[in-house]
Chains A and B, each alone.
Chain A
């Protein structure tokens, strides 16, 4: 067990492609750090640099306070779970798990004890004599986990370990991984592009975009105060509504692109004339009884009934499509039809203002 520290880590492939552009993350001992971001943002590259599978162009990676840039993957004492599991197809489950221990010259009975213990934890005891191809996807996933656990490494690295499983199994394994990681207390780095996995697993969440860490914080802090338009749009489902607006005269609120004026409560408003984006999460808009109390009137163009919730899609009445599409998440009991006009209030303090040019939070 150990801390994992990244300092200004950069990766340039072949002298041209800059996949990671300087990322610093400090992961405390025993905690779970999740890297999330769209495809191609450099998550795997970063993880592989921690693992020692990819050379580090610049910056340092330390594990347990010791810089490991020059060390090979074996010497870093980490274990990795791959997306395709990477089980050795010609070895039995038992040997798959024992392989790493044998290579390190561990005594036979100690290997046996560890493998059986891990197999029991993961519910694999009856499959030890099987070959990987005789297992289901979920069982293979467990074997891959088992191979990592038996080693008791300083850190676990996961690269989208659940993306080959169906939705139900994914949910189940997610919880198992979380429990396992907590009970073992092993520092972990987990790569995913699934924001539900990211939110539920992370102690520290890193939102990456184009080779940079846009924001590093706890999942809730990122949800509540996204640092940029990118983070705001990436975390949360359905995504945060973003409306183009300009700062109005002091005390007058915000002018939406379509002409309507919005005055969110408990929010610091930008100075007059400044181009901004107003962000409101769908779940932070409440239906009010009276037009006069409404911040925005939503003209409904489509309705999604999910049961517990109803999603109303549309655009602000006073505006036109320029001010952007809006989604409001309303209780399932509310009946909404196309062409309805819904008076909506933004919950106090739940408006986010971003600079239109830089995309940073104001």
Chain B
């Protein structure tokens, strides 16, 4: 074994760590603690006075019917986005794995959407499906489908889910491609000799061996759907029509920055944090058990 490398200078390691620690402090711990602090205060709309109110904000938020609706909306949106993004990415990855010529080219093409900013992605989808000028909207209508996401809630939901999933597909795709490449080819050949057809091979060999990747992506995609989709929703529907696409993150923004109800908004973001922490803990506790690590 090689001896441990020790920094001769006692200060240097701390200096090297400092930027990362500073970023985490400024952009995570500080806002998080602010949210916690705000969530127990009541502030007047002009921001002049604030008073300690204990858990009153939480009580009020949780008793609002609109909040419970938003939880439901978020659940539908997140599950659908994560599932769609992962299923499509897996499908594409499996297909690219079979291509021999020009594989690199396809892979590069697939990765591009990830470089598109959420708001831009949202605008793209908005334009494509805009009832008055969108190409796809036109195609849908000429196919006899009455398409108007600006008025129809479920259609608006479908649109944001598609846009949010589309952006995440590239990321998932990359991981699935890497995961597929890590499966030894002889295993697939052995299964073929053992009489398993292509579908059977996928479900009995490839899918179980991809489980570590799939699990990792499940955690990442859930978090993505909960938090990082704000930009897309903001650009495509603004939470509407009505409140049909108002997810929890969007509601935090809407109540806090549009309606200037900081106390409620802060309480909501704390609840949101708790939900995501609980969800992730659940995934690690119960789902990961089924994962076989090579």
Contact = CB atoms under 8 A, between A and B. Distances in A.
B184 A103 contact: no
A79 interface: yes
Interface string A43-68: 00000000111000000000000000
Contacts of B190: 80, 82, 86, 88, 147
Nearest to B183: A89
B193 A51 contact: yes
Interface in B183-210: 184, 186-187, 189-197, 200, 204-205, 208-209
B195 A103 contact: yes
B194 A72 contact: no
A88 B187 contact: yes
B12 to A, nearest CB: 41
Given A89-B209, A89-B294, A90-B209, A84 B186 contact: yes
A142 B184 CA distance: 20
A74 B189 CA distance: 10
B289 interface: no
A89 B193 contact: no
Interface string B162-191: 000000000000000000000010110111
B292 interface: yes
Interface residues of A, number: 22
B191 A99 contact: yes
B228 to A, nearest CB: 32
Nearest to A104: B195
A126 B193 CA distance: 26
B186 A82 contact: yes
Given A53-B189, A88-B187, A99 B194 contact: yes
A84 B184 contact: yes
Contacts of A84: 184, 186
Contacts of A88: 187, 190-191, 205
Contacts of A104: 195
Nearest to A157: B193
Contact of A103 (B187, B194, B209, B292): B194
A73 interface: yes
Contacts of A185: none
A155 to B, nearest CB: 11
A74 B192 contact: yes
Interface string A92-118: 000000011001100000000000000
A78 interface: yes
B189 to A, nearest CB: 5
Given A86-B184, A88-B187, A90-B292, A103 B193 contact: no
A16 to B, nearest CB: 15
| 5 A-B pairs with the lowest CB-CB distances in the bound complex, closest first | A100-B194, A103-B195, A86-B186, A86-B190, A74-B195
Interface of A: 51-53, 72-74, 78-80, 82, 84, 86, 88-90, 99-100, 103-104, 133, 147, 151
Given A90-B209, A103-B196, A147-B194, 8 more contacts: A74-B197, A79-B193, A80-B189, A80-B193, A82-B189, A86-B186, A86-B190, A89-B187
25 contacts: A53-B192, A72-B192, A73-B192, A74-B193, A74-B195, A74-B197, A79-B193, A80-B189, A80-B193, A82-B190, A84-B186, A86-B189, A88-B187, A88-B191, A88-B205, A89-B209, A89-B294, A90-B209, A90-B292, A99-B194, A99-B196, A99-B204, A100-B194, A103-B194, A133-B294
